[in-house]
């Protein structure tokens, strides 16, 4: 699984992988990212991940030309993905996830079946984007894929757990949003006063653990520290 | 401990914020770059004041602004052309001037350009979050400044150096309507007619414009697929499924799923930062790397 390099401007380019994002693509992407950060560290402004691309901002145009000329000599072996799994408590109920009942109906299943499907899975964190601390997670069961709302909600609470298209995610801050809301976590995905401001790292996995409404209320007052196993 | 002075906002329109060079490297946590929309003017202000290049300045994008200083400093203005008054007296196109305790600066209409930059000696000292003082919602305490907001700064009684007294405050550099672009990573998905239209016709800036991006009025109909979410940068032009062209700017999210059809050269992003809704722009392919060097 070897990427191609595409130069966009003299100081911006990206490695691009063919195919749908999965663990193998991510393992290759993380290996290339590590190699570039080690081999070209003095020449980089920034490296940024997406699902199928790794963008590189260079300090100077000749550094980009250098990587392009040396591309064929690099063959980093795929990186072993971390075994860490973060437990994310979620209160799935119509009060905290206002689209839960509609979504279950739409997919012809009971609310409990939906919760079971969503929380039995582990999801792979590929990268952060959209909002500060928003995790792009892969692995939503196909039975739960749901097109985004035609008209986005004007206000989605921080901590809302949602489904949009083939993805699931947590809104780290209150914002407008077009995903279907199924629950809420008391964890804070993003804290700007800490560096790093997030707890998970690309390649980690996330598992949602159902909690009841009382537990949510208690934890919202005093947000728990995220746990990994 | 350095002594701290305060600048108090007496009056402001919406959209006034503190900006520096932004948060490079924080995109890995999903944090936008932010920073001054017109970096050329930010750099000029800090150069005049002999500040660190990352010193924080005010970005003002609406007329009707005034500020009172509690202690002496030097201030510098750049970017949009405006009528500035210090204690009621016109400050005829001076770019740098001393202020004293109690002085009041007023900014009138923006006669030309869309963003004015106001710097003080050593920069405004609002809290630094993740390596930058640039305002961003949910990251810094404030998203925008409002009446009675206060801005800390370090008092300084040094007079401006003489060679800077006549520094020119010009808006000539953003007169051009031509923005220099590179084909974006998804440009090859466009057909011949779409490419021709994008690179040969004029586009109008709509009033859907803020620090995240500017939407263009004229659509570019297309049937391109939605793509896997991948990195986007300020200066990228996205094409939505509905045919809207959206130029991403400093506060844009760090990743996106719409096709990325163009990428504006940095200087052209600064020009665009000085354009207003209704202004026309054209995209022109940048000279190739070979001819440039």
A63 touching B, CB under 8 A?
A: no
B161 touching A, CB under 8 A?
A: no
CATH 3.40.50.10860 is right for the domain spanning A85-228 = no
What's the CA gap between B43 and B49, in Å, rounded? 10
Look up residue B39 and give its DSSP letter: H
Q: Which numeric CATH code is attached to A4-73?
A: 3.30.1360.40
B138 touching A, CB under 8 A?
A: yes
- pLDDT tens per residue, chain A (229 residues)? 899 999 999 999 999 999 999 999 999 999 999 999 999 999 999 999 999 999 999 999 999 999 999 999 999 999 999 999 999 999 999 999 999 999 999 999 999 999 999 999 999 999 999 999 999 999 999 999 999 888 889 999 999 999 998 999 999 999 988 899 999 999 999 999 888 999 999 999 999 999 999 999 999 999 888 999 8
Segments of chain A assigned to CATH 2.40.100.10: 85-228
Q: Is the ipTM of this complex over 0.90?
A: yes
Give chain A as a DSSP string: ---EEEEEETTEEEEE--S---HHHHHHHHHHHHHHHHHSGGGEEEEEE-SSEEEEEESSHHHHHHHHHHGGG--PPPPPPP--EEEEEEB-STTTSTTHHHHHHHTTS-HHHHHHHHHHSEEEEEEE-SSTT-EEEE---GGG-BPPPSS-EEEE-TTEEEEEBTEEEE-SS-EEE-SEEEEE--S-S--TTSSSS-S--TT-EEEEEE--HHHHHHHHHSPPPPEE-
Task: Give the pLDDT confidence of B181-216 residue by residue, as tens digits.
Answer: 999 999 999 999 999 999 999 999 999 999 999 999
Task: Give the pLDDT confidence of B24-52 residue by residue, as tens digits.
Answer: 999 999 999 999 999 999 999 999 999 99
- Chain B interface test: which of A4, A5, A7, A8 (most B C-beta within 10 Å): A8
Give B256 to chain A, closest Cα distance, Å: 7
Nearest CA in chain A to B138: A173
Give B180 to chain A, closest Cα distance, Å: 11
Q: Which residues of B touch A10 (CB under 8 A)?
A: 289, 292
Nearest CA in chain B to A174: B138
pTM of this prediction? 0.93
A44 touching B, CB under 8 A?
A: no
Segments of chain A assigned to CATH 3.30.1360.40: 4-73
Q: Quick check: A190 and B25 CB within 8 A? A: no
What's the CA gap between B138 and A89, in Å, rounded? 23
Q: What domains does chain B contain, in order, with CATH numbers?
A: 5-169 (no CATH), 176-292 (2.40.100.10)
Give A8 to chain B, closest Cα distance, Å: 6
What's the CA gap between A131 and B32, in Å, rounded? 8
Q: Quick check: A192 and B25 CB within 8 A? A: no
């Amino acid at each position: 699984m070897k990427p191609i390099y595409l130069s966009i401007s003299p100081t911006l380019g990206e490695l691009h992988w063919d195919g749908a994002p999965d663990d193998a693509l991510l393992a290759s992407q993380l290996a290339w990212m590590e190699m570039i950060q080690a081999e070209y560290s003095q020449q980089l402004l920034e490296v940024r991940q997406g699902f199928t691309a790794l963008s590189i901002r260079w300090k100077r145009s000749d550094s980009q030309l250098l990587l392009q000329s040396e591309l064929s000599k690099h063959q980093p072996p795929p990186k072993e993905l971390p075994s860490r799994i973060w437990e994310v408590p979620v209160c799935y109920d119509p009060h905290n996830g206002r689209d839960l009942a509609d979504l279950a109906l739409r997919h012809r299943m009971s609310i409990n079946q939906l919760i079971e499907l969503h929380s039995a899975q582990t999801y792979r964190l590929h990268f952060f984007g959209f909002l500060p601390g928003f995790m792009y997670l892969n692995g939503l069961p196909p039975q739960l894929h749901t097109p985004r709302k035609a008209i986005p909600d004007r206000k989605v609470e921080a901590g809302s757990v949602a489904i949009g298209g083939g993805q699931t995610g947590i809104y780290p801050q209150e914002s407008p949003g077009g995903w279907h809301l199924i629950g809420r976590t008391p964890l804070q995905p993003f804290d700007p006063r800490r560096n790093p401001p997030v707890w998970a790292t690309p390649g980690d996995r996330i598992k949602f653990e159902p909690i009841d409404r009382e537990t949510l209320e208690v934890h919202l007052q005093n947000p728990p520290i995220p746990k990994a196993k | 401990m350095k002594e701290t002075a305060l600048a108090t906002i007496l009056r402001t329109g919406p959209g006034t914020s503190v900006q520096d060079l932004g948060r490079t490297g924080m995109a890995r946590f999903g944090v936008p770059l932010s920073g001054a929309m017109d970096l050329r003017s930010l750099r000029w202000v800090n150069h005049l004041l002999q500040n660190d290049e990352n010193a924080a300045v005010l970005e003002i994008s609406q007329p009707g602004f005034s500020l009172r200083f509690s202690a002496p400093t030097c201030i510098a203005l750049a970017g949009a052309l405006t009528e500035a008054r210090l204690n009621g007296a016109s400050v005829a196109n001076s770019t740098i001037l001393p202020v004293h305790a109690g002085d009041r600066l007023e900014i009138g209409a923006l006669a030309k350009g869309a963003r004015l930059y106001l710097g003080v000696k050593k920069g405004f000292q609002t809290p630094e979050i993740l390596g930058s003082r640039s305002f961003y919602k949910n990251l810094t305490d404030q998203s925008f400044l409002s009446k009675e907001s206060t801005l800390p700064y370090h008092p300084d009684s040094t007079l401006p150096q003489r060679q800077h007294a006549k520094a020119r405050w010009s808006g000539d550099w953003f007169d051009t309507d031509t923005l220099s672009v590179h084909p974006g990573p998804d440009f090859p998905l466009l057909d011949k007619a779409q490419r021709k239209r994008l690179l040969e016709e004029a586009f109008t800036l709509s009033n859907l414009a803020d620090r995240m991006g500017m939407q263009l009025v004229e659509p570019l109909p297309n049937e391109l697929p939605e793509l896997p979410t991948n990195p986007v940068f300020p200066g990228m032009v996205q094409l939505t499924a509905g045919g809207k062209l959206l130029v991403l700017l400093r506060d844009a999210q760090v990743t996106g799923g719409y096709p990325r059809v163009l990428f504006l050269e940095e200087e052209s992003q600064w020009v665009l930062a000085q354009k207003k809704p209704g202004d026309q722009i054209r995209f022109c392919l940048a000279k190739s790397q070979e001819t440039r060097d």
